[in-house]
Structure formats: C-alpha cells, structure tokens
C-alpha cells in the first residue's frame, strides 16, 4: 500500500493529474525487420481514425515504392518533412513547428529510432514525439525490434553480425507507450516483398546480408519472445478491450500442481492469472496414488477445484502417481506439454528432510533448467490469512485518441478531487476485515496521513479493540426515536472534521430510523464527494447479485445488501482470505462470537462445507475483477506481504549475464504494481576484476534507468551472503523476491547448500519467482 493512495493531493498534485489527462497518447507498431508492414499498418490505422472523425495528419513516412502503402495514404493530410543530407544520403526530420501550428489530434510518424539533424530542436525523434504528446497530440509511430539496444545485442549475436544498426531507443520506451502492437509476419512474406523494394547501394548490401530465411526467422522469434515478456499489463488490457490481436507464435503453457487441500484454489488462481496475461493455456493437474479412497473433505475440495478450473477456462486432470517421485511426474508432464511456467506451493520440509527425502520444489528446479517456477507464499502458518489486492478497472470503452470535451474534462477533474474508496471483503464474519482495516489505518497515521475512525463495530473482540491504537474516533450521533435514543455514524461531523481518510466498518449496514440516509453506503458516497477517502469492510454475502447464491449455499436469505456498482466503482478491493480450518478455530477460541453462540454457529453458518463454498465465491468474485496488471502480479507474483504499507520488489543478483534479465523482470513487476524496486548484490571477495567492474557498472546503470535502487552489500565470508540478503529483504518489508535458479549440482547443494535453496526455506511467507537461466543445459 502506498501512502500516496490516500494522501490528499496538494494543489500542485491536482494540477499535475489534470495535466496528465490533457496529454496525447503514444502507440508503437513493431516489426521484426523492414518489410513487416509497419508503415502500411500505421497509415491504415490513420485512415480508420479519420473515418471515426478524428483529426489525423501524416508527420513523416519513409520513402517507399510499395503500391499498397502508397494507396493507404489516401486522403490523409501530409505535413511536409524537413529533408537534409548526411554522407550522401537524404534524411528526413519531422517539421515540429508546423505540426504544433496545425495542432491535429493524431500525427503519424514513421521510424521512431532516428537521429535528427544537428540544429534540430531535439536530438532524436523520440524526444520530438515526447514533446508532441505533451502538447496533447497523440502519436502513432513504427520501429523494428532490433532498434531496442538490448534486443540488438542479442539479435546481432544470433544472426552472426548480420543485423546492422547504430540508432536505438531505450528499452523503457515500450513502458511509456499507451499501446504496443507487434506485426508478426513470416520470413517468406518479407522475402517476397523485398524483391519489389528499391534501396540505395549501401542499404541493399545491409539488407542482402540480413534477408535470409534463417535470419528473419530468428528475428521473428526474438520479437515474439521479447514482446511477450516486455509489454506491460496496461497495454495488454487496452488491446484486449479494443479487440486488438496480440502477437502470435509465442505459445505459453502454464502448469499448476495441486492436491485436494484448502489452498488449491489460490494456486489455481495464480496459474489462471499468469496464463491469461501471457495468452497461454492453463493446465491444472493433481497426481494421486491409483485406487486411493478420498476422505469426505478431500472430495469437497476436489469439487471446488474442478469447478474453479472450469470457470477460468483451464484444463483439469487427475493422473495416477506411477512412481515414488511426484517431482519426476511433474517434470515428465511438463516436457510432454511444453510447459513454460510451473506454479507450486511452498515446500514445508526442513533442510535435513530435504537432504534425506528431497524437496519437490528443489527437484523440479534441478530437473527443469528452462522453466520458470513461481512459488506461492504460505502465510497461513504465520498470519492465518492471505490478502489478494486488486485495483478496479473502468470497463467503459472510450476512444483513446479523441480529445475530451469540456464536460468530459470536468468529469475527469471531479474524479481526481473525489475521495478514494477501498473495501476489504471477506467470505464470512471473523476473517479479519476490521482488524486489517485498523492495522492499515495505524500504518497510514504513522506516515503522516490525517486519518480517523468514523464507525467501528468490534463485536466484543478484544484483539480488534486493541488494534484501534492511537486512531481518533468520531463520536456517534445520538438520534431520538420514539421514547428512546439510538446511535449512528455522524456523517456531518466527519465531513466537518475533514480528515484525509476515514475508516467505516460494515458497509452493508442499515441505518437506524431518523437517519439522513437509509443505508451506510449512502453516507459513504456523501463523504467521498467531500474529497475524503474511505476504507470500509464487507462480507461477500452482502453483495446484492450474489444473494441467491448465498442462500443456496447457506440456506439463509441475507436482507442487508450493497448494490454491485458500489464495489465496481471502488478504487480498490482487497480480499481477506482465510482457510475454513483457521476460521473455525477462531470461532472455537471465542474470537468471533460470544461463547453461548459458538456451537450453534459451528453447526450452521460456519459449517466446513458452507465456509468452503463462501470462500470460493469470494475468490471468484474478487479475482474476476483482477485485470492484466494484477495478473502480472501473479505471473510475477502479487500476493502482498503482511505489512500492507506498500509493494516492494527485491531482486537478488550476481554478476553473471542472467542478472540483467532478472532486473528487467523486476522492473516489469514494479511498474505494474507501482512498487519500489531494489536490486541487490552481495560482494563476498576482495577487489573487483575489470570484467566485474564493467558488469557492475552496467547493472547499476540499468537499475537506475528503470527507476530502481541498487544496493551493494559486503561480507568477508561467502556463507554470510544469505544472511545479508535475508536481513535486507526483511528491513525493506519486501513482498516479492526474484532470483535466478541455482547452477549447483545436487551433490554440491547437499555438501555446501545453495543461496537459492536457503532463501526458499527462509522466505516461505513471501512470493518467490525463480527465473530460469537459459544458459544452463
């Protein structure tokens, strides 16, 4: 949780937010090489926009003799470019001043990777485009995949030096784009098109070296892999929302291995979110001994898991365990089905048990050198709950290129000034919604947020009351009713006090007679309109459209409900997920209801079957609203850590080539989560060699460029590397850890251990992504 989420914006911040919605958009069309059709598609999209009434002009297109491309210019207005000469070759720059004077809604600009003439306003075309965007002019542009420097190095190596180029854009250019589109074209098509192209002698020489079927196939595959891993979830969501087909040919297969236990649904959800973001298929497999007789609880969990897999569009299989090693079965299944990522629960074995019997996680990591393994956090033993965060997404489809009207602009400004609504949802009473809300309230207060309690229902729970801490409580309003008085939340007093955040329990509550509003959620709406942020709580059975389902599950018709749009319009929803077993234990301990109600509750509403069904219902309803950005949290792991203050990504690296891949992976996660990114290296030897100094310099520069913080720790003993990492992971309240797979053999791990395995044992309460090292065979 970030403090900026609830802190009231300053006038300067309000102005910045308003300016942001006045900026233009950037779309980048990427191809594997010249001849992919980038310019053609750019012009085609320009014409489509023009037909929709959008003001579109051509700022610059590369010279071409392709008839289809020329025809696509159609009636599009063209602003003449500035022509200049360099080493006998004609170059073109966009006429920035003329475009600004013309002030179109969209401008089409070919060839993003371009160095301008020496007396131009900006040194590069990318800087030109950034300036146009700042002037509320949207831009559609084109580039080849190898014009990203990091990709060029790999492409040049794979093609044996056949890729020629010295003009590049930084990798983070894709992250700043609102949309990225890859044109996937076969080598045969590009080769056929090249026969009709006319280039000067130097260009023909360079193209001749590159234009071989094998080289183009390498570039095509490289483009597919790069886009699949780099395009952020916000871009993916936009393409999906507008029916834009993403790149084909980069198939992803996700395997989730489950047992018929209470955490099976969480593992399935993780796999579903990963597979959806990657555009891949989801496989859920349960290996069981042949002819096993299942217990009643196992059958219940089995039905729940199968139902969930069907809902998310996955493929479920129950397979016989034919050997003593389930890890071997998982690996064999992965090989048969071309699995690229495996989602697992945490290993609970000690190091000694792992040495004697082995660990499923460790065995898979050793046997699958080219498969990423996502190990889901197990916080139940420490915290008894899991928190699944999701930011709500406006589902309304709007034309991203059309300028906002004065009325639309006023609406957007109103949204900026309106308070933020966050709702904690649980499957049943007692899961810890109010407790978590109070915990977050205290954390906000510690970081300087002006926060108060507007209404709190402790139900006599001592631990909940203790969590109030130093938070101020707004006194309840006394309302006369007949011959007595009743108490209710004092909405007017809250608005008059005007805190930055107010905590309001039980969103579905029906107010007492004589109140201004009939329902508490109506009071919340008035508070939000006053510019005050609200954190509230709700049980899943109170969602209006789930009323029938809840009655079918529990036999109880819930009378107090909240309209679905309240949740749909909420800025954030967090599900407090707890196992039925832990919840029933809380009940037995008297931590939910008074002792006199315990047995009755356990035998009715709190029956295990009811709690399983309600839990699944809550998971589905919240997780279904999770967009591509949250699914990146799962692929790159997004169960939040226990502190809830903010998301923190911690990348553990060495000075080997795979480290840059780890950093880029960490950047993608941090970007989507708006999280802090730390990249850490522990020096455990003397002076760096010259090669190590160069590697360290590159890593520092990459980390800085991607907005992260590089951390260098030192120790005199290699055995203390693990200690340094764990200490700093904890100090930074890390929620996600990323590391590369171990290169050590089984015998080396038994003899001396490995940092990767030590971290996996120590960090079982955190999500861990073990990234495959493609250089290991």
CATH number of 417-624: 3.40.50.300
**Is residue 384 predicted with pLDDT exceeding 90?**
no
Residue 215 has pLDDT above 90, yes or no: no
pLDDT reading at 390 higher than 70: no
CB atoms near residue 677 (< 10 Å): 25
CATH 3.40.50.300 segments of the chain: 3-241, 417-624
Using one digit for the tens of pLDDT, what is the confidence trace for 564-590?
Answer: 778 878 888 877 777 777 788 888 888
Give the bridge partners for 221, in sequence order: none
Give the Å distances, CA to CA, from 300 to 307, 476, 613: 11, 45, 9
The more confidently predicted of residues 126 and 766 is 126
Tell me the β-bridge partners of 267. none
Give counts: helices (H), strands (E), the chain. Answer: 33, 27
| Band (449; pLDDT cuts 50, 70, 90) | very high
pLDDT tens for 711-725 read: 999 888 877 888 899
Among candidate residues 125, 129, 149, the one with its CA nearest the CA of residue 139: 129
How much of the chain, in percent, has pLDDT values that exceed 90?
26
HEC per residue, 581-599: HHHHHHHHCCCCCCHHHHH
Between residues 312 and 64, the one the model is more confident about: 312
pLDDT score for 155:
81
Q: Which CATH architecture has domain 251-376?
A: 3-Layer(aba) Sandwich (3.40)
pLDDT at 42: 93
As a whole-number percent, the residues of the chain with pLDDT over 70 amount to 77
Is the CATH code 3.40.50.620 the one for domain 3-241?
Answer: no
pLDDT band at 668 (very low <50, low <70, confident <90, very high): low
Classified by CATH at the fold level, domain 642-777 comes out as Rossmann fold (3.40.50)
The band of 395, judged by pLDDT with boundaries at 50, 70 and 90, is very low
Look at residue 144 and tell me whether its pLDDT is greater than 60: yes
3-state secondary structure at position 388? strand
Mean pLDDT computed over every residue of the chain: 78
Q: Which long-range contacts (CB under 8 A, 24 or more apart) does 492-500 make?
A: 494/452, 494/454, 494/527, 494/532, 495/526, 495/527, 495/530, 495/532, 497/452, 498/530, 498/531, 498/532, 499/450, 499/451, 499/452, 499/532, 500/6, 500/7, 500/8, 500/449, 500/450, 500/451, 500/532, 500/533
Question: For residues 538 and 370, which has the higher predicted lDDT (pLDDT)?
Answer: 538
**Chain centroid to CA 74:** 40
Mean pLDDT of 594-615: 80
For the question of whether the overall pTM of this predicted structure is more than 0.75, the answer is no
Q: What pLDDT sits at residue 350?
A: 61
pLDDT in tens, 106-128: 999 999 999 999 999 999 999 99
Higher pLDDT, residue 31 or 7: 31
| 457, pLDDT greater than 80 | yes
pLDDT of 650 strictly over 80: yes
Name which of 6-15, 379-388, 671-680 the model is least confident about.
379-388
Residue 391: its pLDDT value, please? 44
The pLDDT tens digits for 154-198 are: 888 877 777 777 788 987 888 788 777 777 766 767 787 777 654
Phi-psi category of 607—alpha, beta or left, where left has phi over 0 and alpha has psi -120 to 50?
beta
Residue 105 has pLDDT above 90, yes or no: yes
Q: Where in the chain is the domain with CATH 3.40.50.620?
A: 251-376, 642-777
Dihedral angle over CA of 96, 100, 105, 107, nearest 10: -10
> pLDDT value at position 437?
92
Q: pLDDT band at residue 251, thresholds of 50, 70 and 90? A: very low
Is the pLDDT confidence value at 385 over 60? Answer: no
Residues forming a β-bridge with 282: 254
pLDDT at residue 398, rounded to an integer: 58
Q: What is the pLDDT of residue 33?
A: 86
> Tell me, what's the pLDDT at 14?
78
The predicted pLDDT at position 463 comes to 77
């Amino acid at each position: 949780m970030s403090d900026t989420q609830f802190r009231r914006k300053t006038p300067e911040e309000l102005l910045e937010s308003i300016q942001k919605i006045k900026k233009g958009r950037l779309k980048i069309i990427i191809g594997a090489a010249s001849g992919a059709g980038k310019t053609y598609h750019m012009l085609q999209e320009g014409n489509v926009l023009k037909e929709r009434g959008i003001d579109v002009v051509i700022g610059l297109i590369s010279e071409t003799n392709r008839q289809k491309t020329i025809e696509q210019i159609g009636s599009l207005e063209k602003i003449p470019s500035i022509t200049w000469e360099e080493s006998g070759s004609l170059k073109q720059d966009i006429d920035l001043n003329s475009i600004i004077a013309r002030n179109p809604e969209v401008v089409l600009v070919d060839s993003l990777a371009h160095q301008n003439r020496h007396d131009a306003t900006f040194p590069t075309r990318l800087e030109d485009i950034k300036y146009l965007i700042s002037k509320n002019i949207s831009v559609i542009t084109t580039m080849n995949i190898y014009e990203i420097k990091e990709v060029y190095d790999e492409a040049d190596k794979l093609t044996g030096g056949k890729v020629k180029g010295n003009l590049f854009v930084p990798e983070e250019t894709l992250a700043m784009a609102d949309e990225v589109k890859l044109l996937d074209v076969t080598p045969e098509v590009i080769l056929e098109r090249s026969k009709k192209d006319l280039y000067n002698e130097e260009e023909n020489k360079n193209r001749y070296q590159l234009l071989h079927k094998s080289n183009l196939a390498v570039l095509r595959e490289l483009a597919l892999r790069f886009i699949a891993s780099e395009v952020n979830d916000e871009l993916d969501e936009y393409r999906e929302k507008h029916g834009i087909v993403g790149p084909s040919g980069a198939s992803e297969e996700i395997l989730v291995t489950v047992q018929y236990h209470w955490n099976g649904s969480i593992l399935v959800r993780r796999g579903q979110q990963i597979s959806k973001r990657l555009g891949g298929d989801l496989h859920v497999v349960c290996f069981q001994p042949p002819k096993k007789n299942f217990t009643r609880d196992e059958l219940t969990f089995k039905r729940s898991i199968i139902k969930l897999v069907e809902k998310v569009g996955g493929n479920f299989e129950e397979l016989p365990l034919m050997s003593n090693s389930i890890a071997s079965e998982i690996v064999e299944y992965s090989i048969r089905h071309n699995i690229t990522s495996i989602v697992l629960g945490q290993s609970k074995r000690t190091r000694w048990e792992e040495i004697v019997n082995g660990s499923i996680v460790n065995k898979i990591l050793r046997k699958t050198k080219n498969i990423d393994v996502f190990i889901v956090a197990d916080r139940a033993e420490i915290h008894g709950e899991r928190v699944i965060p999701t930011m709500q997404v406006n589902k309304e489809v709007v034309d991203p290129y059309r300028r906002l009207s004065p009325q639309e602009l006023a609406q957007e400004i109103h949204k900026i000034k309106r308070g933020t609504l966050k709702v904690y949802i649980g499957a049943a009473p007692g899961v810890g919604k109010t407790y978590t809300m109070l915990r977050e309230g205290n954390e906000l207060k510690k970081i300087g947020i002006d926060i108060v309690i507007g209404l709190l229902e402790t139900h006599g729970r001592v631990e909940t009351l203790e969590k109030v801490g130093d938070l101020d409580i707004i006194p309840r309003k006394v309302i006369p009713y007949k011959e007595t008085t009743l108490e209710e939340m004092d909405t007017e007093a809250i608005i008059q006090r005007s805190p930055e955040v107010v905590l309001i329990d039980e969103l579905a509550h029906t107010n007492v007679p004589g109140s201004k509003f009939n329902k508490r959620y109506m009071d919340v709406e008035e508070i939000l309109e006053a510019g005050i942020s609200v954190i509230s709580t709700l049980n899943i059975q109170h969602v209006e459209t789930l009323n029938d389902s809840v009655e079918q599950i529990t036999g109880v018709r819930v009378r107090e409900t909240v309209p679905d749009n309240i949740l749909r319009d909420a800025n954030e929803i967090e599900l407090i997920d707890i196992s039925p077993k832990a919840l029933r234990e809380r009940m037995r301990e008297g931590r939910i209801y008074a002792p006199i109600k315990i047995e009755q509750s356990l035998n009715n509403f709190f029956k295990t079957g009811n709690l399983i069904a309600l839990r699944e219902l809550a998971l589905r309803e919240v997780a279904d609203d999770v967009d591509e950005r949250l699914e990146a949290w799962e692929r790159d792991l997004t169960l939040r850590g226990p502190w809830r203050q903010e998301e923190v990504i911690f990348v553990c690296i060495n000075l080997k080539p795979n480290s840059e891949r780890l950093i880029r992976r960490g950047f993608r996660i941090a970007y989507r989560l708006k999280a802090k990114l730390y990249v850490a290296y522990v020096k455990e030897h003397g002076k760096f060699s010259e090669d190590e100094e160069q590697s360290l310099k590159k890593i520092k520069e990459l980390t800085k460029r991607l907005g992260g913080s590089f951390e260098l720790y030192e120790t005199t003993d290699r055995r203390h590397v693990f200690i340094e990492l764990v200490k700093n992971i904890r100090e930074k309240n890390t929620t996600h850890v990323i590391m590369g797979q171990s290169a050590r053999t089984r015998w080396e791990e038994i003899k001396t251990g490995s940092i990767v395995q030590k971290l996996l044992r120590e960090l079982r309460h955190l999500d861990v992504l073990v990234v495959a090292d493609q250089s290991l065979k």
